[in-house]
Chains A and B, each alone.
Chain A
Amino acid sequence: MRLQARDIRLYLGRAEILHGVDLTAHAGRLTAIIGPNGSGKTTLLRALTGEIAPASGNVVMNGRDIAGMRPGELAPIRAVLPQQSVLSFPFTVAEIVRIGLTSSHVQDDGHALIRAALSRVGLPDHAGRLYQELSGGEQQRVQLARALVQIWHPVGSDGPRWLLLDEPVSSLDIAQQLTVMRLAAEYARQGGGVVAIMHDLNLTAMFADHVLLMQEGRAVAEGSPVDVLTDHRLSGAYGCCLQINHTPSDGVWLLPQGAGL
């Protein structure tokens, strides 16, 4: 099963943000969308979630065009972690996570599920805290827990679930970054689909199974990390010189940014 964007052309106001982008994400894999600021990554993700309809092209999730699906049909099969969330009222962490509970898959009061989700994002003791009093990184992980309870099982009877993440590790420290990326990779390993916008190319290299490189509203490269994360492609897309180093021990690559200037 796939999540496929076909020839997405999209305007915000009069400006054409996406000039015909294709993306194919497979269930069971972690797909990373990378590219410089303003290249259209978030807009593409918003099109994938169904939040904004493209002017042309379509998004097909598990074989269905999402344009014809109601929010209530989409919610049980895909969850979204936004880049940032501003909250207007003093909700507790437990209450925020509960918002993700779409009654469909929970028969009881949902306490066990909320607890489990908070444990997975590394906040097992935060249920009673007020959301607004948490640090930015903690808030981001609470939102991730909220997205997780929405599609707790990576695969349902009707196909895989899709976790769409907009810069999931942007305000996290290195340990938390690893926690969240491992969680996402684990979700994919269990059969779910994960699409994540990534800024950190090292983490991308470490965790992504499939990479889409964007530049100025176009997909300039799509494929395995080995194919996409090359000196030439990255330097061209990001507009500065980058050099790829291969670590000998486990095959993971590190990209000392700005090297060779």
Chain B
Amino acid sequence: MVALDASGERLAGDRRHLGRSLAFWLFALLAAVAMLSLGHGASGVSAPQVLLDWFTGHEIARTDRVVLFDIRLPRLLTGMLVGAGLAVSGAVMQGLFRNPLADPGLLGVSAGASLGAIAAIVLGGLLPPAILAAAGWHLVPLAAFAGSWLAMAVLYGIATQQGKTSVATMLLAGIAIAAMIAAVSGLIIYRADDQQLRDLTFWSLGSLAGASWVKLLAAGPVIAAALVVSPLLARGLNGLALGEAAAAHVGIRVQRVKTAAILITAAATGASVAISGGIGFVGIVVPHLLRLLTGPDHRWLLVNSGLLGASVLLVADMVSRTIIAPAELPIGIITAMIGGPFFLWVLLSNRRMLDG
């Protein structure tokens, strides 16, 4: 599985050069997929032609301009950030919980976001009109983001005693909190009317269809900041793979790594879920695939997860936009449809490693 070069200066088992070259190729892949995504869509507007016209100062049809700059471009950037955010969050959570199947759901982030969205969709109408008017369409994403942070903060508070966060407590309390959130969500859903139920269903299936510059400007910086900071966790997460005590022995400030990991995940996932709804599997499949290719060393895993996650989501979004055009299939369906079988295949063909 690992290309080992016993000859020359290279140390066998050191896969960092693989991670480095993979990062290069993943970057190239992302660039290519982004170009493709910008150029493809139900309307058949040709991106190169429009850009050429734009540069040469020709008149651009209003529809073409809207398709390219108000629909595809914000959607492309949103897709990249959300994909990278979900994949990096997944990798960070797996490192923190020392489990390749961990995901941000363990922090209550997803359940909290979903409760926020449900509350906004069903109960938002009860808010004072002034607040409603101020929040406008953005009430659902705002509530989802607030919900994700609230759930994470409660869980973090429960699991942290005398300045130390117990990952095991977090895991178990997370199950309890998720059950409580599900109960409250159910209570609210019971009140929902038909249309609200359909809105909820579509929200939970996830979509980039609502991507807009406004949302991107609000959520983008939060996700981007989390992505930029995440590589600083690499050494800490590597150390944690040996256990918390051993990590501290090699000089890692374990509590600081945990807090940072949780904040980064809540920021990236909370903001991603807020603007795109529930998109599953990216956070588990992408880091897992990369671990198979270049090993679990977080030094490149985090960066590469971001790059590959962005590409994967852009491809899924292209499928979502074009497969039943002019209508659109929710992207969560696509990621689950591609991600599920793919994940199973990866698992089955690598049983030996999992049992090791």
18 chain-A/chain-B pairs, Cβ below 8 angstroms: A71-B249, A72-B253, A75-B249, A78-B249, A80-B249, A82-B249, A85-B246, A87-B242, A90-B291, A90-B353, A92-B12, A92-B14, A95-B13, A114-B11, A129-B13, A146-B242, A146-B250, A150-B250
Residues in B with CB closer than 8 Å to A129 are 13
B154 close to A (CB within 8 Å):
no
Nearest chain B residue, comparing its CB with the CB of A98: B14
A94 and B241 contact, CB distance less than 8 A:
no
Least CB distance from B17 to A in Å reads 10
B35 close to A (CB within 8 Å):
no
Of residues 325 through 356 on chain B, the ones whose CB sits less than 8 Å from some CB of chain A are: 353, 356
A70 and B253 contact, CB distance less than 8 A:
yes
Alpha-carbon distance A95/B242, docked complex (angstroms): 11
Given contacts A88-B99, A91-B295, A130-B356, contact A75 B11 (CB under 8 A): no
Nearest chain A residue, comparing its CB with the CB of B253: A71
A192 close to B (CB within 8 Å):
no
Interface residues on A, range: 35 or more
Alpha-carbon distance A72/B356, docked complex (angstroms): 32
A132 close to B (CB within 8 Å):
yes
B99 and A92 contact, CB distance less than 8 A:
no
B181 close to A (CB within 8 Å):
no
A79 close to B (CB within 8 Å):
yes
Of residues 234 through 265 on chain B, the ones whose CB sits less than 8 Å from some CB of chain A are: 238-239, 241-243, 245-246, 248-254
Interface residues of B (CB under 8 A from A): 2, 4, 6, 9-15, 98-100, 238-239, 241-243, 245-246, 248-254, 291, 295-297, 353, 356
Alpha-carbon distance A79/B100, docked complex (angstroms): 28
Cβ-defined partner of A91 (8 Å) among B6, B10, B11, B296: B296
Residues in B with CB closer than 8 Å to A51 are 245, 248-249
B241 and A128 contact, CB distance less than 8 A:
no
Least CB distance from A35 to B in Å reads 21
Given contacts A82-B245, A130-B356, contact A93 B296 (CB under 8 A): no
A85 and B252 contact, CB distance less than 8 A:
no
Could you list 17 further interchain pairs (A-B, Cβ under 8 angstroms) beyond the known A95-B14, A102-B250, A133-B356?
Answer: A46-B245, A71-B254, A74-B249, A75-B250, A82-B245, A88-B98, A89-B296, A90-B356, A91-B241, A91-B295, A92-B12, A100-B250, A102-B251, A115-B11, A128-B4, A129-B13, A130-B356
Least CB distance from B216 to A in Å reads 34
Alpha-carbon distance A190/B353, docked complex (angstroms): 41
Q: Which of B9, B99, B239, B249 has the most CB of A within 10 A?
A: B249
Residues in B with CB closer than 8 Å to A72 are 251, 253
Least CB distance from A77 to B in Å reads 10
Q: CB-CB contacts of A82-110 with B at 8 A, as 1s and 0s? A: 10011111111111101110100000010
